[in-house]
Amino acid sequence: MEMWQEMLNAAMMGTDKRPPGVESLTPDLQEAVSLIVQQTDADREEQFLRIASLAFNYRQCGVSPMKNAAQEGLVAGEEDKAYCTPQALQVLKDIIEEDNVALLQRWLQECVDREQLIHPELLPAMLSQGKQHKKLQTLLGHCCGKRGAWLGRFNPEWNFSIEVADTEVWQTGSLEQRKAALQDMRNTDPALGREWLQKTWPQEDANTKTELLAMLVTNIGAEDAPFLEGLAGEKSKKVKEQAVSLLRRIPSSSVVQLYEQVLRQSISYKKEKVLPGLSSKHLLDIQLPSTIDEQVFKSGIEKLSDKKGVSDEDFIVYQLAACVPPSIWEQLLGGSPEEVIAVLKKDVKGKYLIASIAQAIVQFNDRTWALAFVKHVDTNYIELFPLLPANEQDAYAINALSHSADRAIILCAERPGEWSIDLTRQIFRYAARHPYQYNRSFYSQHIERFPFAILFELDGLTPPEEHFKPMWSNISTYLHKLIGLKQQLFQSFNAIK
């Protein structure tokens, strides 16, 4: 290194001011350099270039690579889990070749569930998949084993494979790893997950705070309210908005309680008999109080209506109705969900309140009200679909395909598990007539939802439009390949070694 630095100094200063000294060169070169200097057919610049060329070639072939002492002696530990079966290994290779992330994620989950490992020969390829698709990193960390952790030491982009405890992942992992660890902890111990976030909160930047805070939506409850309400003083607008968004999901939070207070002051309901023993008249009145706490509007409630024919006052009430638990209407109107719905259906403004209550049902995951809406409200609110009993979901989703198909398909895709054959048939029938929107990418992404039995019905789902038939034919061929690969995946993990 001293020799090469001498050459660089001479080049910068000039050969007249600082010619390279022979004594600074390694002994192996001194004799050759002396011969160059003695040559009279070259000036100083030419001599310098000859010496530099000699030194460069010597440096290129004669210098040993630097060693990292911290990495010396590292050996991968012995695995304490079994490798996956040869059949599963072959399916994994086929999935990688197909480049299907959904099937790859399912394969990894099956591997983790059975406490098995990926064979060493595929570890580099799989770790590279983890670099490209962050959502796979946690699964890969479990099924790459100790060898994967060992490889991660030599490549920082693979270090997610290192097997460490959840607490260590939370302390030292990437943002995606920490989010996954926090969500997992919220599933098993919500209080401890919140404590994790509280302890590291002062050290997090605004973007990280916002991302991690969103994980508290899992099993959110009254115990989270004090922490979230304490974030009102945060500098970041995004952090405060995320906190308020979460508080709106907690019935006992100060913001929801404030909404309830204003709503109770705004709604009056009377039942008057028109004819004794024959009929009664329902009087529902909406009137905002003369003064409203400004915190209501600072929390996101808009003052001005954006709906034609809806006054500003009514618009505020409709927003409040969407942000409080639906059960409040049982108190305000003194009846069951079915009775409340019956009253609102007869009121001029009731349709807007019904739409607001539908939003509140989703916000507070109220399954009782969701079922009442399905049975007694004519409008299909597809957002209620995940809250319905299993035996009601498919029929509701199929009905929604006639008027809110795209939204219905999105919600069905978000539901875990396979679709029923009836639901799959109806979705495919619609998708076949919209091939530009529901192209190969759609089927690739949601392959886990499709039952194997749908393969026998694909020809019968061909759209009547001639210009769509060739596209559906191509998609059908693609589906045969994907669903067949999916079937092989599950069979391979159930095969006898």
Distance CA 487, CA 66 (A): 50
First to last CA, the chain: 57
How confident is residue 86, by pLDDT bands cut at 50, 70 and 90? very high
pLDDT attached to residue 34: 78
Model-level pTM?
0.69
| pLDDT confidence of residue 213 | 97
| Beta-bridge mates of residue 482 | none
pLDDT in tens, 233-266: 999 999 999 999 999 999 999 999 999 999 999 9
Token pair for residue 397? Answer: 């989703």
Q: Would you place residue 66 in the very low, low, confident or very high pLDDT band (cuts 50, 70, 90)? A: low
369-375 long-range contacts (CB < 8 A, ≥24 apart) are 369/326, 369/327, 369/337, 372/336, 372/337, 372/338, 372/341, 373/341, 375/338
Q: Determine how many CB atoms are found less than 10 A away from the CB of residue 152.
A: 21
Contact present, 177 and 169 (Cβ < 8 Å): yes
Q: What are phi and psi of 286, to 5 degrees?
A: -115, 120
Calpha distance 195→187 (Å, rounded): 14
**What is the C-alpha to C-alpha distance for residues 102 and 95, in angstroms, rounded to an integer?**
9
Asked whether the predicted pLDDT for residue 71 surpasses 60, the reply is no
Kindly tell me if the per-residue pLDDT of 110 is higher than 90.
yes
Mean pLDDT of 202-219: 95
- Quick one: DSSP state of residue 272? E
- The larger pLDDT score, comparing residue 119 to residue 10, is at 119
- Quote the pLDDT of residue 24: 64
* Bigger pLDDT: 79 vs 2: 79
Which residue in the block uniquely carries the two structure tokens 């809806």?
Answer: 310
Phi-psi region at 14: left, alpha or beta (left = phi > 0; alpha = psi -120 to 50)? left
Kindly report the length of the chain: 497
Burial of 489 (0-12, 13-18, 19+ CB in 10 A): buried
Read off the amino acid at residue 481: K
- For residue 271, the 8-state DSSP code is E
Neighbouring C-alpha atoms within 13 Å toward the C-beta of 184: 13
Say if CB 4 and CB 59 are below 8 A apart.
Answer: yes
Closest-CA residue to 183 (of 149, 208, 220)? 220
Nearest CA to 495 out of 86, 113, 108 is that of: 86
Mean residue pLDDT of the chain comes to: 88
Given CA atoms 113, 114, 120, 121 in this order, what sign does their dihedral have? negative
Give the pLDDT confidence score for residue 364 in this predicted structure: 95
Give the angle subtended at the CA of 140 by the CAs of 135 and 141, to the nearest 5°. 105
Percent of the chain with pLDDT over 70: 90
Other CB atoms within 10 A of residue 185 CB? 23
Find the DSSP H helices in 166-311: 166-172, 175-188, 190-200, 206-213, 225-229, 237-247, 254-266, 295-298
- Mean pLDDT confidence for 432-440: 95
Percentage of the chain surpassing pLDDT 90? 63
Answer for the pair 43, 31: CB distance below 8 angstroms, yes or no: no
- The answer to whether 469 touches 89, Cβ cutoff 8 Å, is no
d(CA 294, CA 231): 18
Write down the pLDDT at residue 307: 85
The answer for residues whose C-beta is within 8 angstroms of residue 157's C-beta and 6 or more apart is: 131
Q: What is the pLDDT of residues 293-328, one digit of tens each?
A: 999 999 999 999 988 889 999 999 999 999 999 999
Taking residue 209's Cβ as centre, other Cβ atoms within 10 Å add up to 21
Dihedral sign for Cα atoms in the order 285, 290, 295, 300? positive
Q: Which amino acid is at 384?
A: L
pLDDT-derived band at 48, boundaries 50, 70, 90? confident
CA distances in angstroms from 121 to 74, 111, 150, 376, listed in the order given: 19, 16, 14, 59
- Which residue is it, tokens 């309210």? 225
Could you report the per-residue pLDDT of 20-47, keeping only the tens digit for each?
666 666 777 777 877 777 777 777 788 7
Helix axes 175-188, 206-213, angle to 10 degrees: 30
Q: Is the pLDDT of residue 348 over 60?
A: yes
pLDDT at residue number 157 = 82
Q: pLDDT digit string (tens) for 354-381? A: 999 999 999 999 999 999 999 999 888 9
Write down the residue that tokens 């440096």 correspond to: 59
Lowest mean pLDDT among 130-139, 281-290, 420-429: 281-290
Residue 84 has pLDDT above 90, yes or no: yes
